[in-house]
């Protein structure tokens, strides 16, 4: 029986910085081969190919591709608005902010978001 080699675990994909994206796109427009671009940037040709394909003809090197999957109920703008409202004292707790600003979202989701932002999502009970 042939001895099977253990497969090496795949390395995680590291996204290109905007500078690397710009260099790769400029070199490709000048007619450089993928292998030459990869050698200059110190990455694999697959990474160069993938990043150039994602970039397309755009010149915005900071643009992020929208993620697939279920969209978040609380957008980053809504999270910031809730945080600012809580810090200003407009609402006593996350549940009150949820009722006023995000009625379609569970109070637990808003509390969790507050906790992730470093706020306390609950008001202490009365003794």
The residue ranges of every structural domain in the chain are 18-55, 76-116
Mean pLDDT taken over the chain? 85
Residue that has been written with the tokens 């306390």 in this structure: 120
- Looking at residue 26, its pLDDT comes to 93
**Structure token digits, residue 122:** 């609950």
Sequence-distant (6+) residues with CB within 8 A of 100 are 91
What is the pLDDT, as a whole number, of residue 99? 93
Neighbour tally for 32: CB within 10 Å: 16
Helix (H, G, I), strand (E, B) or coil at 13: coil
Q: Which residue, among 116, 89, 86, 115, has the nearest Cα to 98 in the 3D structure?
A: 86
Q: What is the pLDDT of residue 13?
A: 72
In whole angstroms, what is the distance from residue 43 CA to residue 77 CA?
A: 35
pLDDT at residue 23, rounded to an integer: 94
Distance CA 101, CA 50 (A): 40
79 half-sphere exposure, CB direction, 13 A CA radius? 15
The 10 Å Cβ neighbour count of residue 50 is 15
The pLDDT assigned to 62 comes to 81
Half-sphere exposure of 48 (CA within 13 A, CB side): 20
Q: What is the pTM of this model?
A: 0.48
pLDDT in tens, the chain (127 residues): 556 666 767 666 777 899 999 999 999 999 999 999 999 999 999 999 999 998 887 778 887 777 788 888 899 899 999 999 989 989 988 889 999 999 999 999 999 998 888 887 666 555 5
């Amino acid at each position: 029986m042939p001895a099977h080699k253990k497969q090496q675990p795949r390395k995680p994909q590291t996204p290109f910085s905007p500078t690397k994206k710009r260099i790769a796109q400029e070199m490709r427009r000048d007619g450089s081969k993928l292998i030459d671009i990869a050698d200059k940037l110190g990455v694999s040709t697959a990474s160069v190919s993938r990043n150039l394909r994602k970039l397309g003809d755009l010149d915005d090197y900071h643009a992020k591709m929208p993620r697939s999957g279920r969209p978040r109920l609380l957008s980053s703008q809504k999270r910031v608005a809730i945080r600012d409202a809580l810090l200003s004292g407009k609402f006593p707790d996350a549940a009150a902010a949820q009722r006023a600003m995000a009625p379609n979202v569970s109070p637990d989701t808003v509390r969790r978001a507050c906790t992730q932002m470093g706020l306390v999502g609950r008001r202490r009970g009365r003794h």
